[in-house]
């Protein structure tokens, strides 16, 4: 069965050069990410909001018209859901968190890897490889297993053990590397010819961004085709922030959105904040962050290939970039859990801390409608032992 997709070609994000969408593609000749482009005029004449609302497809696959998978048989699914938007009224009247931890393999990486694996199968690719800080590797392994493809991942040696075991349990071949995610990426690059795998690194193939784009499409539909004043997003490689900004522009071109676009706030850890430094310096590209370290492993990305796309979105939206230290991240995680029952991952907790910081500095009103993105279940990360011995608390 052919899916009704309106994807037409790939385009270099820097030069605008066109590339064939029906062939496997990595970076452009300019060494920049490729973006999927669509015939939005025909999409607007063919698909309506009502069509989306009545779709029987699971989760983000309801937006198949906005995605590049052509054949339904190539769509790889692990039972995706529409992730909930949960009020945090203990802290802000209009503050919510979109909990991506409800997706397969427990993180928002499911969105990007579902699309990357689906397109890989459609294009005849059999072996996928990538560097990972944990969650992306697990998502790749899970979707590759479902698709009957091979997955190889390289991760920093201090990657959370649960992520490594999860990836291996689903058939992924896992290598630990003494270094950071950019060091892992070098092994992926080196093995492209000798091992025959396809590089599925963040933004080094065109389709993970299309999967992450569905966060923006889903948010708009959940809010009745309008958007909040601000989105606080944990930013490592930045695929999700770039993808959402792309989604908002596509929806606006269709005439589906009401009101202004949100401020995009890129949240990093103070121990690894290349985007924040570039934003503060007015630079369009971010320099490599030396000696990167943070408890929030998912945003420990010293260099992002799509740095200029992140910074463009932040600036165009009137947003900003901010860095949060690890102690504040952990305190925020614990406080949100105790007061609201939402166990955020460290990266998600960083967005809450960034929101509090912005309210305190007057960058945003405490009553402004703001959405925080919790990118993974907090259960994947070490938690403090606060249990008491029963015999120490029971009295006669």
Over residues 369-383, the pLDDT tens digits come to 999 999 999 998 888
Q: Which two tokens stand for residue 363?
A: 């960058």
pLDDT of residue 306: 96
393 has pLDDT over 70: no
The answer to whether 202 and 239 are in contact (CB under 8 A) is yes
Q: Which two tokens stand for residue 309?
A: 């796309």
Same domain flag for 143 and 258: no
Q: Which two tokens stand for residue 118?
A: 């689906």
Same domain flag for 191 and 235: no
What band does 390 get if pLDDT is binned at 50, 70 and 90? confident
Strand order in the sheet with 18-19: 18-19, 7-12, 34-38
Same domain flag for 154 and 253: no
Beta strand 370-374 pairing with 230-234: parallel
Helical ranges in 223-345 per DSSP H:
239-254, 274-281, 307-317, 326-340
CA distance 241 to 264: 8
The answer to whether 238 and 309 are in contact (CB under 8 A) is yes
The answer to whether 382 and 109 are in contact (CB under 8 A) is no
In a domain, 233, yes or no: yes
Residue with tokens 């948010």: 219
CA distance 227 to 336: 24
pLDDT of residue 29: 97
395 has pLDDT over 60: no
Same domain flag for 271 and 333: yes
CA distance 321 to 329: 16
4 has pLDDT over 80: no
For residue 167, give its domain range.
Answer: 109-199
Is residue 183 packed enough to be buried (19+ CB in 10 Å), middle (13-18) or exposed (0-12)? Answer: middle
Same domain flag for 281 and 320: yes
Same domain flag for 218 and 130: no
Specify the number of domains making up the chain: 2
In a domain, 253, yes or no: yes
Same domain flag for 276 and 149: no
| pLDDT tens-place string over residues 70-83 | 999 999 999 999 99
Whether the predicted model's global pTM rises above the 0.85 cut: yes
Same domain flag for 171 and 225: no
| pLDDT tens-place string over residues 348-369 | 999 999 999 999 999 999 999 9
Phi, psi of 187, rounded to the nearest 5 degrees? -70, -40
DSSP 96-164: EEEEGGGSGGGBTHHHHHHHHHHHHHHTT--EEEEE-SSHHHHHHHHHHHHHT-EEEEEEETTS-HHHH
Q: Measure Cα distances from 347 to 18, 291, 352 in Å.
A: 35, 19, 9
Q: Which whole number is the average pLDDT over 217-221? A: 98
Q: First vs last Cα of the chain: how many Å apart? A: 70
In a domain, 281, yes or no: yes
- Please tell me what DSSP assigns to residue 287: P
136 has pLDDT over 80: yes
Same domain flag for 269 and 130: no
Same domain flag for 230 and 338: yes
Same domain flag for 376 and 229: yes
Can you tell me whether residue 64 is helix, strand or coil? helix
CA distance 345 to 355: 16
Give the chain's length: 396
In a domain, 19, yes or no: no
| pLDDT tens-place string over residues 51-73 | 999 999 989 999 999 999 999 99
What band does 258 get if pLDDT is binned at 50, 70 and 90? confident
In a domain, 391, yes or no: no
In a domain, 269, yes or no: yes
Check which CATH number belongs to the domain holding 192 and give it. 3.40.50.1100
Q: Which whole number is the average pLDDT over 161-184? A: 95
pLDDT of residue 289: 96
What value, to the nearest 5°, has the Cα angle with vertex 191 and ends 193 and 131?
A: 135
Same domain flag for 282 and 373: yes
3 has pLDDT over 70: no
In a domain, 392, yes or no: no
- Please tell me what DSSP assigns to residue 309: H
């Amino acid at each position: 069965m052919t899916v009704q997709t309106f994807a037409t070609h790939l385009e270099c994000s820097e030069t605008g050069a066109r590339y064939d969408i029906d062939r496997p593609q990595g970076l452009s000749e300019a060494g920049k990410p490729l973006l999927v482009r669509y015939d939005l005029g025909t999409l607007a004449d063919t698909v309506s909001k009502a069509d989306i609302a009545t779709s029987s497809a699971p989760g983000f696959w309801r937006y198949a018209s906005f995605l590049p998978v052509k054949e339904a048989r190539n769509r790889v699914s692990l039972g995706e859901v529409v992730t909930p938007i949960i009020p945090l009224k203990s802290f802000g009247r209009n503050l919510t968190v979109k909990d991506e931890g409800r997706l397969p393999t427990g993180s928002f990486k499911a969105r990007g890897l579902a699309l990357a694996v689906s397109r890989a199968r459609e294009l005849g690719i059999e072996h996928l490889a990538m560097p990972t800080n944990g969650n992306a590797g697990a998502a790749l392994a899970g979707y590759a297993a479902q698709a009957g493809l091979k997955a190889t991942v390289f991760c920093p040696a201090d990657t959370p053990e649960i992520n490594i075991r999860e990836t291996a349990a689903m058939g992924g071949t896992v290598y630990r590397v003494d270094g950071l995610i950019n060091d892992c990426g070098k092994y992926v690059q080196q093995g492209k010819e000798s091992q025959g795998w396809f590089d599925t690194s963040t933004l080094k193939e065109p389709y993970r961004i299309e999967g992450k784009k569905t966060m923006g499409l889903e948010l708009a539909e959940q809010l009745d085709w309008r958007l909040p004043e601000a989105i606080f997003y944990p930013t490592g490689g930045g695929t999700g922030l770039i993808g959402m900004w792309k989604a908002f522009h596509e929806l606006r071109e269709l005439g589906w959105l009401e009101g202004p676009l949100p401020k995009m706030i890129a949240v990093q850890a103070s121990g690894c904040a290349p985007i924040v430094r570039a934003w503060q310096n007015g630079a369009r590209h971010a320099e490599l962050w030396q000696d990167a370290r943070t408890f929030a492993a998912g945003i420990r990305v010293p260099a992002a290939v799509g740095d200029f796309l992140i910074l463009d979105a932040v600036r165009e939206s009137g947003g900003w970039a901010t860095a949060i230290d690890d102690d504040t991240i952990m305190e925020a995680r614990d406080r949100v859990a105790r007061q609201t029952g939402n166990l955020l991952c460290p990266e998600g907790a960083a967005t809450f801390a960034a929101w509090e910081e912005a309210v305190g500095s007057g960058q945003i009103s405490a009553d402004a409608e703001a959405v925080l993105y919790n990118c993974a279940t907090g259960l994947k990360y070490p938690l403090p032992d606060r249990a008491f011995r029963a015999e120490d608390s029971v009295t006669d």
